Chain A
Amino acid sequence: MSTAKPGAKPAAKPAGNRGRTVILAVVGLAVVAAVGAIAVLSVEEQASVKDLEDIAGPVEVTGDPLPPLGSDGSADALEGQGVPAPGATALTMAGEEVALGAGAGTGQVLVFLAHWCPVCQQEVPVLADYVAANGVPAGVELVAVMTGLDPGRPNWPPDEWLEREGLDATVVRDNAEGDLLRAFGVNAYPAWAVVAADGTLVGRRTGLLDDASIAALLASAAG
């Protein structure tokens, strides 16, 4: 405990203390300088990657957008059954146009994935393994929508990520503004939207799904 009286000036430091302080400061600065040098020398230049324009594609949306997911308080269960789904067109990385939602003419399960979202990074291998083992039901198309595009965030570019994971699905690109995201009312990742062949919404939900939930979603798209 300090023995100095309150308000009293600290006693002058003895020469030995000053010496120790100087040694401490010199050692500290030497350590920081050495760490800085190691950091500079040990980091390799990153190869250049794709820009936002290389991934974001043109998107056309028709019909009314769906309300934000979870607005009825049921984000963990399918919501929005029976309402007309919006329609949209988007491009694959190869430039092929894909019809989404109403107008696709087939049952669809849309999964909205953000490359930087750790839950999406957990989900994709689960989904890829499920599809590789079980496939998708006849008359159902599994579509992965690359959205939330941001080259400044981790795990960019998203197309290479999905290719690495071996996801066997139709992969389409949202635009930079996230119009597909808004059309389907997505406000969290990963999000799922199931659309029946007649263009009505079977339901939407968010979150990490296991094999059983994925199977149920795919089956519900088959009608």
Chain B
Amino acid sequence: MSAVPVAVADRFLGLLAVIALAATVAAVVMLVTRRVPAWAPRAALPAAAAIAVVTTLGSLYYSEVAGYPPCLLCWYQRIAIYPQVVILGVAAWRRDAQVWRTSVPLAAIGVAISAWHVVIERNPALAGPCDPDNPCTLVWVEEFGFLTIPTMALVAGLAVIALTLLARLGADDRAAADDTERTPA
């Protein structure tokens, strides 16, 4: 039995996923409108790294503490998110906005798998009859009526993509500003 009741952990991770979703929407709006406050790109990489860390710890909590065995699709999503802890952690430390070249493709693969996982969770018959051991359609967690484990993974992947692209946009803008300052009139 875990020290923290699973229902509390579900709610905690669900609330963090809602915050990550809000951050993703905000980042997408900034990317589309190109109206970016100066602090946002600087905060983007640490936030993306934090999301990767929380997602990794959350998935380990569910499998190792709560006792929810990861299904096949869960494993594929883990492959896409666990390395981001190191990739984005180092990039946040070094302020390397070019990390999007590594991070975005990896996150995009995870997002595609998460999206399919969410689809079969919502329409389980698409995946055929239930595997008696550990079907991918099994819904272990459902917070606020929509946040299941793959939905949280989907949000995390989208957040990583949006935030690393936001960091890149900030770096590009700073480089353009530096070029303008250096160019003689």
Contact = CB atoms under 8 A, between A and B. Distances in A.
Chain B interface size, under 10 / 10 to 19 / 20 to 34 / 35 or more: 35 or more
A2 B138 contact: no
Contacts, number: 88
Contacts of B7: 43, 46
Interface string B121-149: 10011001111100101111000000000
B57 to A, nearest CB: 12
B102 to A, nearest CB: 15
B129 A40 contact: no
A35 B46 CA distance: 19
Interface residues of A, number: 39
Interface in A169-192: 181, 186-191
A188 B140 contact: no
A206 B46 CA distance: 49
B43 to A, nearest CB: 6
Contacts of B5: 43
B50 A39 contact: no
Interface in A124-154: 148, 152-154
A122 interface: yes
A187 B154 CA distance: 30
Nearest to A123: B125
B135 A117 contact: yes
A119 B124 CA distance: 6
B32 interface: no
Contacts of A148: 132
A10 to B, nearest CB: 7
A120 B130 contact: yes
A208 interface: yes
B19 interface: yes
B130 A114 contact: yes
A2 B130 contact: no
Given A39-B11, A46-B7, A118-B139, A189 B124 contact: no
Interface in B1-29: 5, 7-12, 15-16, 19
A35 B8 contact: no
Given A114-B132, A189-B130, A119 B125 contact: yes
A133 B10 CA distance: 40
A2 B96 contact: yes
4 cross-chain pairs, A with B, having the tightest CB-CB distances, nearest first: A118-B124, A188-B129, A117-B130, A39-B12
Given A2-B98, A43-B10, A148-B132, 14 more contacts: A1-B175, A31-B19, A43-B5, A43-B11, A46-B7, A116-B138, A117-B130, A117-B137, A118-B121, A121-B124, A188-B129, A188-B131, A189-B130, A208-B125
Interface of A: 1-2, 10, 20, 24, 28, 31-32, 35-36, 38-40, 42-43, 46, 75, 114, 116-122, 148, 152-154, 181, 186-191, 206-208
Interface of B: 5, 7-12, 15-16, 19, 39, 42-43, 46-47, 50, 67, 94, 96-98, 121, 124-125, 128-132, 135, 137-140, 171, 175
